[in-house]
Amino acid sequence: MSDREQLGEPIYPGQNGRLSRRALIKGLMMLGLSAGTASALAACVQPTAPAAPTAAGASGPAATTPASAATAGAAKKGGTLRRGWQPPTQLDPALQATSTEIAACAQMYDWLVWIDEKNQPSKALAESWGSNKEGTQWTFALRQGVTFHSGKALTAEDVVFTFNRLRDKSIGAATASLYENIKDVKAVDGKNVQFVLAKANPELPADLGDYHAAIVASDTKDFKTTYNGTGPFILEKFSPEDRATFKRNPNYWLSDLPYLDGIQDIYSPQQSAQVEALRGGQLDVVMGLGAELAETLKKEGKTTILQGRPNMHFALHMRSDRKPGSDPKVRQALKAATDRSAILKAARLGYGVAGRDTPISPVFGDYYLDVPEPKRDVAKARQLLKEAGYDSLNIQLTAQNSFDVPKIAVVWKEQLAEAGVNVDIKVVPPDVYYQDDGWLQVDFGITEWALRATPQPYLQLAYKTGAKWNESHFSDAELDQLADQAASELDRAKRAELYKQIQQIFIDRGPIIVPYFETTIAATNPKVKGLVVHADFPRSTMRSVFIEG
């Protein structure tokens, strides 16, 4: 079964264990069928389902104006949605760091380009865009008639202000380096914004969709007390240790949306307490659940469990500039001894997609090299080790004590033992793992890598020769060259071809083992409808969510 089929499994639990109509449509859409075809097919499977309106429209953020009309018939207006999150530090969009902060900003703000729940750039405040032949000058045309919560109309000036702030090194935003390639941002007129780049960047729209790049009003003075966005919800009250209260934006640019009257993000440090509150009916949504908690809730059967698309991955890096990882045969031997699906099952209870030892998952669409999961082959592993001159091998794996990393380490150790490799696991707290660049020094380590909108950042940050976070100290002339080529290739089909070649290099001689990409788990009160979990789950928009009955 390929990954794409796996994703087509019922994401929404259907009645009597059957595929729900919506899950089916979603699955079919992921197979690349158009919404119309998918819904027609779904109608064939479940002839009793009402023919219109299509539930496909509920897949939220990507869908813009027409989608809202499609869901309006089924959706119920009103109500307050209560979500559980851990306490945030602050809500300045340029400085968002934690899930809670991203989850709050995703409701208050809009983006020029919205990275949709399938991780693809889609229209938002920009209605259309294009570049010159060289890909060095991009123009974005703004949607008209959009207003900020303060009533101020959105103009090109606001966009220029936003990106100049994000580029300003003294603000401290993580985007300063992401946007280093931008030479100038200017308002052509009230409606059009132009980005002038130092060198071509075919993925500029995706980069502008970075979660920090929420469009703010140009008259904002203090970002700690003013949250003036164009988003579907307006912040009413914010106490970072208790809750944030949002009310509906009545002038939201997608007419009819949002459905909810308001949102309350209720903060508590313990996820177990949030889950208790969900079970007790004092919360409606908890996102980013651990797999064990999700399984407990699933068995209980009183909550709806939703899954997002493949999100972050765990890279088990093998340092490639010194022994033993410097020998590609050793790296391939360790890969051959690894059973990725077994790790996924043991460490994450199957909530994820097995990896192919590349940082690129099926969520990257046409960039993804769709090959079967490599089969575990212990004999081949022993053979390769022998060829490399090892009868047995002792290695030390540094594992940070967060996420499911220690579990991954333990299962891997057992698998490797069968191939004659003794893995000594050293578990350290995450701040120790990252402290003083320790993670960049160790021979074998497990690092979590957040989801990006395009494959390029992974290559630029971690796999090109001399890259800043090249934890495996990997250096491969062919990969370097292909990565640079992909970075400036304007033709998407050719770019996809380059990314596929790069993934083949990872598979043949790359420095990482990727046991799995985890899928985000959300649990909701069964009355909550229309929630689509974003690939980067905190970015899930609540504008299409409604509470039934």
Partner 1 sequence: MLSYVARRLLFVLLTLLLSSLVIFGVTQLLPGDVATMILGRFATPEALARLRGELGLDRPLYVQYWDWLWRFVKGDWGTSLATGTAIQPWVMERLRNSAMLAGVGLVMSVPLAVVLGVVAAMKRDSWLDHVISVFSLALVGLPEFVTGLVFIGVLALGLKWLPASSAIEPDAGFFDALPKLILPGLTITLVMLAYVARMTRSGTIEVLKTDYIRTAYLKGLPAHEVILNHVLRNALLPTVTIIAISIGWLIGGLIVTESVFGYPGLGRLLLYSIQHRDLPLLQAVSMLVVAIYSLANLLADVVYAYLNPRIRLS
Q: Which amino acid is residue 227, in one-letter code?
A: Y
Residues 189-228: x/- map of binding to partner 1 (CB under 8 A)?
Answer: ---------------------------------x-xx---
Looking only at residues 313 through 332 of this chain, which bind partner 1 when binding is defined by CB under 8 A?
A: none
Rounded Cα distance, 58 and 220, in Å: 33
The residues, any chain, with a CB within 8 Å of residue 379's CB and separated by 6 or more, are none
Confirm or reject binding of residue 5 to partner 1 (CB under 8 A): no
Stretch that binds partner 1, among 62-70, 85-93, 195-203, 342-350 (CB under 8 A): 85-93
Rounded Cα distance, 293 and 395, in Å: 33
* 119, 451 Cβ separation under 8 angstroms: yes
Confirm or reject binding of residue 253 to partner 1 (CB under 8 A): no
* 277, 283 Cβ separation under 8 angstroms: yes
As measured in angstroms, the least distance from the Cβ of 55 to partner 1 is 32
Q: In this complex, which beta carbon is closest to partner 1, that of residue 84 or of residue 511? A: 84
* 168, 180 Cβ separation under 8 angstroms: no
As measured in angstroms, the least distance from the Cβ of 163 to partner 1 is 17
Stretch that binds partner 1, among 24-32, 187-195, 261-269, 408-416 (CB under 8 A): 261-269
Confirm or reject binding of residue 268 to partner 1 (CB under 8 A): yes
Sole binder of partner 1 in the list 66, 241, 491, 549 (CB under 8 A): 241
As measured in angstroms, the least distance from the Cβ of 241 to partner 1 is 3
Rounded Cα distance, 145 and 155, in Å: 9
Angle at 76 between CA 75 and CA 77, to 5 degrees: 120
* 505, 331 Cβ separation under 8 angstroms: no
CA-based nearest residue to 415, from 483, 482, 333, 293:
333
Looking only at residues 430 through 489 of this chain, which bind partner 1 when binding is defined by CB under 8 A?
A: 434
Token code pair at residue 415: 């698998």
DSSP letter at 358 equals: S
Write b or e for each residue in 178-201: b if 16 or more Cβ atoms lie within 10 A of its Cβ, otherwise e.
bbebbeebebeeeebbebebeebb
Confirm or reject binding of residue 280 to partner 1 (CB under 8 A): yes
- What are the CB-based long-range contacts (under 8 Å, 24+) for 387-394? 387/329, 388/324, 388/327, 388/329, 388/330, 388/333, 390/324, 390/330, 391/420, 392/420, 392/421, 392/422, 393/324, 393/330, 393/420, 393/421, 393/422, 394/421, 394/422, 394/424
Stretch that binds partner 1, among 7-15, 24-32, 279-287, 474-482 (CB under 8 A): 279-287
Rounded Cα distance, 65 and 87, in Å: 34
Stretch that binds partner 1, among 270-278, 308-316, 421-429, 473-481 (CB under 8 A): 270-278
As measured in angstroms, the least distance from the Cβ of 214 to partner 1 is 16
Confirm or reject binding of residue 293 to partner 1 (CB under 8 A): no
Stretch that binds partner 1, among 32-40, 272-280, 446-454, 476-484 (CB under 8 A): 272-280
Sole binder of partner 1 in the list 90, 150, 394, 396 (CB under 8 A): 90
As measured in angstroms, the least distance from the Cβ of 236 to partner 1 is 10
As measured in angstroms, the least distance from the Cβ of 485 to partner 1 is 28
Angle at 391 between CA 388 and CA 512, to 5 degrees: 50
Q: In this complex, which beta carbon is closest to partner 1, that of residue 49 or of residue 174? A: 174
Sole binder of partner 1 in the list 89, 401, 441, 481 (CB under 8 A): 89
Q: In this complex, which beta carbon is closest to partner 1, that of residue 88 or of residue 229? A: 88
Rounded Cα distance, 427 and 400, in Å: 6
137-142 vs 352-354, strand pairing mode: unpaired
As measured in angstroms, the least distance from the Cβ of 508 to partner 1 is 32
126-131 vs 262-267, strand pairing mode: unpaired
As measured in angstroms, the least distance from the Cβ of 450 to partner 1 is 12
CA-based nearest residue to 98, from 106, 543, 62:
106
Q: In this complex, which beta carbon is closest to partner 1, that of residue 190 or of residue 301? A: 301
Stretch that binds partner 1, among 1-9, 86-94, 150-158, 404-412 (CB under 8 A): 86-94
Sole binder of partner 1 in the list 128, 132, 239, 396 (CB under 8 A): 239
Confirm or reject binding of residue 286 to partner 1 (CB under 8 A): no
Residues 165-194: x/- map of binding to partner 1 (CB under 8 A)?
Answer: ----xxxx-x-x------------------
Q: Which residues make up the interface to partner 1 (CB under 8 A)?
A: 87-91, 95, 97, 169-172, 174, 176, 222, 224-225, 237-243, 245, 266, 268-270, 273, 276-277, 279-283, 434
